[in-house]
Amino acid sequence: MQKHFGISEKEAVDRINDFWSRKDLTDDTSLIYHETPEFWAYEMYSANRSWWKISKEEIIPRAYKTT
């Protein structure tokens, strides 16, 4: 997220923690193990449902809650 969206390390870590805190990570067959770090950066940052169909400039950031 830092590289792709120019956010701080703190914001990136906060977004990662917020995103994964609501997920079950115990299933070895889960999709999470089959996607790239770039995919997850966009997924965590973007509020757009189909972010892969639009340009990077059109992406709307998810609301950011600082911790």
| Domain extents in the chain | 2-58
pLDDT for res 49 = 86
pLDDT for res 30 = 75
pLDDT for res 3 = 94
Q: For the chain, how long is the longest CA-to-CA vector?
A: 35
Where the chain has pLDDT below 70, the residues are 67
Do residues 62 and 46 lie in contact, with contact meaning Cβ atoms separated by under 8 Å? yes
Report the alpha-carbon distance of residue 26 to residue 53 in Å, rounded.
30
Q: What would the pLDDT profile of 47-65 be if each residue is shown by its tens digit?
A: 998 999 999 999 999 999 7
3-state secondary structure of 22: coil
Residue 55: both structure tokens together: 């340009």
